[in-house]
Amino acid sequence: MLEKELSMMAISAKANRPHRMKEVWQDKLFNGSVMFLVILTLFLMLYPLYLIVISSISDPGLVAIGEVMVYPRGITFLGYEALFSYNALWRSYLNSIIYTVTGTTISIAITMAAAFALSRKFPGRIFITFLFVFTMFFNGGLIPTFLIVRDIGLYNNPWICILMGAVSVWNLMVARTYIRYTIPESLYEASMLDGASHWQYFLRVVLPLSGTIIAVLSVYYGVARWNDFWTGLVYIADDRWLPLQTFLRRILASLNTSIELMNISGDITESQILRMQRAEQAKYGIIVITTVPAVILYLFMQKFFVKGVMIGSIKG
């Protein structure tokens, strides 16, 4: 009896097992073509990054003549030594970390609050949304912006690197769409019936349910803040408050100027050749130093990033 029951269970399990459709040669050809395109795209995206990394630790002469293509050759760290010889580099690195963390936090707080407000129905909502969108296409220009920054006391003030560009209208629209179409309206009605205020609903319901879009905004704002060199270039005069990107740009400009002066003089010594090699290799080192934090952030946030972008872009 037991054997019969086990046999029946095995037959039932086999019958309920999903049948795998047999692939014809057209399906195999299509799947193979898609896989080839994916691998090719991945290679085209990753190889330039890999080439920069191996070039940053290879002999600059071999890099210049195209001998470094697959693996590093003549390994040397002259470029990194040139960069790290600047003591102010570490201070600018710390500045960028502070600007990125603080600025991203403020940006997310403002963006989520504004997105929640625009997701509610109230008189004048369409007009206010239009005013936000208008700023995506038109602005006052560099000179009026500079004069305003100077008049309000933010010129040569580290706070300008935190507050400038605190809100991206595109990110605001994505967050508004996420809140409107992902968080049920019934939660708002239930909260109002329980006597919750708008702030309580926003802090206790909306924010806890918006972890995905907050992660996406963290990537957007964090990478933009980390890569920002223009704000420091225009509004910061004191080297103590320069962000990393602006400081590295000055180093690169200084190294290039030294090379041009040596080329003009014509008579190049051995020490000058070494400086030229360090300058050439430092260019690749700058890219590596500035790119690694952004890549790490993407790796940690990618599962939230894909889901949040799809939700914020499909609906709306």
pLDDT tens, residue by residue, 216-231:
898 889 889 998 889 9
The dihedrals phi and psi of 124, each to the nearest 5 degrees, come to: 85, 5
What per-residue confidence (pLDDT) applies to 85?
A: 76
Mean pLDDT (whole number) for 151-157: 92
φ/ψ of 73, rounded to 5, equals -130, 140
Residue range 91-130, pLDDT digits in tens = 888 999 999 999 999 999 999 999 999 988 888 888 998 9
Q: Which range has the worst mean pLDDT, 96-105, 128-137, 146-155, 299-308?
A: 299-308
CB atoms closer than 10 angstroms to residue 252: 15
Q: What domains, with CATH codes, occur in the chain?
A: 24-77 (no CATH), 79-314 (1.10.3720.10)
Which phi and psi (to 5°) does residue 276 adopt?
-65, -40
Q: Dig out the tokens for 255 from the structure.
A: 């190294």
For residue 267, CA distances in Å to 22, 59, 270, 272, 274 come to: 74, 23, 10, 9, 14
- Given a cut of 50, is residue 6 above it in pLDDT? no
The amino acid that residue 3 corresponds to is: E
Residue, of 67 and 265, whose pLDDT is higher: 67
pLDDT of residue 255: 67
> Residue 296 — very low, low, confident or very high, per pLDDT cuts 50/70/90?
confident
Amino acid at 67: E
Helix residue ranges, H only, the chain: 2-16, 25-55, 60-64, 78-84, 88-119, 125-137, 142-151, 160-163, 169-182, 185-193, 198-201, 211-227, 230-235, 244-265, 270-314
Shortest CA distance to 62 belongs to which of 54, 252, 254? 54
> How much is the average pLDDT of 69-96?
81
Write out the two tokens for 138.
């038109």
Q: What angle do CA 225, 232, 154 make, to 5 degrees?
A: 100
